[in-house]
Amino acid sequence: MTKAADVFKLKNRNNVEVTFIGRGGQITSINVPDSKGSIADVVVGYETIEEALAGDGYFGALCGRYANRVVKGQFEIDGEKYQLECNNDQNHLHGGSDGFNNRIWEVEAYDTNKFAQAYKLSLTSKDGDQKYPGELKVEVIYGLTEENEFVIEYIANTTKATIINLTSHAYFNLKGAGTGTVEGQNLQLNASKFTPISAEIGTVTGEIAEVKDTAMDFVEPKTVGEACAADCPQVKIVDGIDHNFVIDGYDGMLRLAARMSDPESGREMEVYTDQPGIQVYTGSHFDGSETGKLGAPIVKWAGLALETQIFPDSPNKEHFPNAVLRPEETYKHTCVYKFII
């Protein structure tokens, strides 16, 4: 049986190394060399596993059953109404206060020639867990390739119709966690549309808007700082970016969603997914009160979460992608974080 503090490592020939723990499948570090071979840990978090277990439980964790928000915690399937916990003001966030980030996943080595090294993480969520219908069996593969791709593959099945949206919640700082903010790092998104938010609703309004002429326009690369500093109502609501982007050309196949790069170290990462959306979050709630890696305070905009997903509140928005999983179906989701070295 895996324990909360059990540590697992994936390593390839190029010295890329991913470390995670049993609780939440939480990624606690990703070491990546730059072009000169100088290695930095590119995910925001704590120095020790003890601190990780006691601290912000979303750092690098697997989120579910429904990552992101469900408005008022309510949804309906086949005429049956469900009420989830509202653990984020008036809304439900990341599967509730005892979400998958908080669970101890069963971890075992996963043998396949697709990866340099891989692990399988499994979890069974009981019928009614966090008030979601159906028993949900989830398997997540964490795999590292010799091409410096950290691959996350999700598979899930349910015994009753339910809703599902699994994601991974690592905050990336390509210069290295603890070296300051990501304001000077570049972001490019394969997204000409996004889903605007409202302060009153606390998440998406249901609108799908063009990014053109807004701070949300990352079609051409620009710095995260430029967007965060923009005089734009959408930025003001969340003091940065905390938005879902609609991936262009979505067809259920793996495609480029985002590219992030750090001009100082030259480190670059591409994100690929088969999901319709990606939540970009600048970590605006970090206030420097916690000490993280390199003994530095975890400050506002210290990292960028790039969470591949179905859209927020999809269960209540007819025109958003489907988030309902039925017993005869299998939920599948792949996300690739590829480090360009």
Minimum gap (Å) between residue 61 Cβ and ligand BGC:
9
Strand partners, 20: 8, 27
Stretch that binds ligand BGC, among 106-114, 128-136, 185-193, 278-286 (CB under 6 A): 278-286
Q: Of the residues 94, 169, 243, 333, which is catalytic?
A: 169
Does 58 contact ligand BGC by CB under 6 A?
A: yes
Q: 116 or 241: whose CB is closer to ligand BGC?
A: 241
The one-letter amino acid code at 182 reads V
Minimum gap (Å) between residue 169 Cβ and ligand BGC:
6
Does 46 contact ligand BGC by CB under 6 A?
A: no
The mark string for 295-334 relative to ligand BGC (x by CB under 6 A, - otherwise) is ----------x-x---------------------------
For residue 47, indicate whether it is catalytic. no
For residue 285, indicate whether it is catalytic. no
Which of 83, 285, 294, 322 touches ligand BGC by CB under 6 A? 285
Token pair belonging to 301: 């905009």
Q: 116 or 269: whose CB is closer to ligand BGC?
A: 269
Active-site residues, by number, are 169, 307
Binding site for ligand BGC (CB under 6 A): 58, 169, 242, 279, 281, 285, 305, 307
